[in-house]
Structure 1
Amino acid sequence: MTLAKNVGIVDTGMFFPPQVQTASQMAEQTGIPEEAIIEKFGLVKKHVSDHDLHASDMAVRAALPILEKVDRNDIDVVIYFGSPYKDYQVWSCAPKIQHELGLNNAYAFEMMNVSSCFPIALKVAKDMLVSDDFIRNVLLVGGCKESHLIDYENTRSRFMFNFADGGAAALVQRGAQTSRILASAIMTDGSFHDDVKVPAGGSRMPASTLTLQERLHSIDVKDPASMKSRLDPVSVPNFVQVVKTAVARSGYTLADIDCLLPLHTKRSMFEELLAQLGLQEEQAIYLDEYGHMSALDPCIGLHLARERGMLQDGSLAVALSAGTGYTWAATVIEWGSGAK
């Protein structure tokens, strides 16, 4: 790969609202023992926003530290990859983010594939930079306020009680010296399309007094037992498959992985995934003090891995996520200018 076409991540940013919800507080709200929230849910605490801070605001704040180091006029594209739960319905927050960040030379658009979107956004940004010589810098931005979608009295949505709030950003650049984005692998099983959703507020069930009274505006699972019976046999194997495929397409093997950047899952799934990939826990980022923030998790994991010194010259990292519907996605990142 020539330097002119090398595409990599040159910087990352993250933001969290100051309010924190602890496992103890969640136990009081849910009736689930604190030990179970910590040990099974894998959640010590998470950040939650107030009613004045929205997904677009948190995306903006995550990107600001990146833009302090570059000329804002050099940003060509802004892609919002965060939660679909935004300030308003049928509304794109990407133009607001572009405007508030002062990126006057950039055009902006959104990608939405719920929690799986960051590895996909990396692929899209890379493909745009490789194919279009007029693009030099793509800013990926995301926000999440999905803690506000949870009804803690609805036990059907129990596996989503780890939903949290925050913002994340990554600057992807042609000619990057700090890293290079390698191959991706993505797979979808659309048979899960009707399992997880907010029932009311869309065209099938418009908002009404009745939908408010019946609390249909929080995220729900149609039939948890049915979804579990179909999802459990394929979830970890599909995670492993997209990692194997992405790594192989990048010219490496599982043994070459130095750092895994997964979405936040229950503790048992995280440990099974590490075992299947032949990794130790110290080779991965587990967001037990942050929770699950839709598509933001692997981007935040990348930022934390950099802060913790887990990425050396030539380190191979894998951004890994999955989103309800269901789509599994992995993108390989080689950190530093040298090869393994």
Structure 2
Amino acid sequence: MSDGVTLSQTNVVVGKSLWQLAFARFLSSRFAVINLAILAVIAAVSFVAPLIYPHSYATVYREYILVPPSLTAYPDQPMTEKAFSRLMRAGRYQVESLEVAEDAVSATITARKPIKVETLNKAFALGSMFQEPQIITQSEDGKQLEITAAINRQYFVFGTDENGRDLLARIMAGGRISILIGIAATLTSIVIGVMYGAIAGYVGGRTDAVMMRFVDILYGIPLMFFVIVLVTFFGRNILLLFVALGAVEWLTMARIVRGQTMSLMQAEFVTGARVAGLPMWSILRRHVLPNVMGPVVVYATLNMPAVILAESFLSFLGLGVQEPMASWGVLIADGARRMETASWLLIFPGIFLILTVMCINFVGDSMRDAIDPKR
């Protein structure tokens, strides 16, 4: 070149899209990142941890009913002695002596008739606290045995419920249900609300008036009562709960999208697309919907806690998830009935529910600030 500047010496400036700038602003907020990390931990506990956790949400431990939370292994010595004596009484054996060690129990038992090994094993099979006993010595008439049995140590970090089920395992299962209901119902409300609002805002006129009057009528109906009626008439089905909650949460979404669409109809790129003869669905898909997704994403993050709380309320009333499945609402309802005698049944599910709802709200607020073009 005549001015001595080559192409390799020029500085190329690469622009960033609105979403890239919003994502960078979101990551620059330490508060938003912390709340997002907490949500990731809760999701991992709910979906990944059950794969390696030793207890199932439906497994019943009859020896561990309403066991308090503890970081030490169960059973302790009094619990071991009580459970062993109960098993021996069930098999009609008498305990002459009993010694509890760290990992095993040794005892001398007697009976009126010669003791059969098969019958003794059946007696131990009635519980899950001990393994199959080993016979050390046996009297000549077979009516007295000296046995030893290994103790199955169990950890119940969050304690157990009134049926002897591990509370942490049930909180994990409840987290899966509550989070999936929140996501599914929110996606349902997005699909219905975005399409309904975009069509109303794009077409306008009488069509818009009729469509929005229908939304106003639905606003006048107690929506939670409507969900209760649906669940009562069509049965307490988890899939129905997904659809029902999503079907009543789309009204505000439709209004937001309609308002955004009506403002975009005055934009030059939309006017140019209409002059060029593009069909309505093409304009909505290529020009309108991408520009309204910012408010939609923000509202979706703010709507998800409302859905989770609605499901918890229905489960609290007994109209949500049914046994043996669990949700956080079901666990809180169970804990409320025993809050005076077993407070951990209410505290731990409540902590998970409150923490999840608060973190989602905080993340939604941060996303709103990040997407706001005025910032």
**TM-score bracket relative to the smaller structure:** under 0.3
With CA pairs under 8 Å and 6+ residues apart, which has the higher RCO, 1 or 2? 1
State the structure with more CA Rg: 2
**1 or 2, which has the higher strand percentage?**
1
Please report the TM-score for the alignment, with normalisation by the length of structure 2: 0.21
Higher helix share: 2
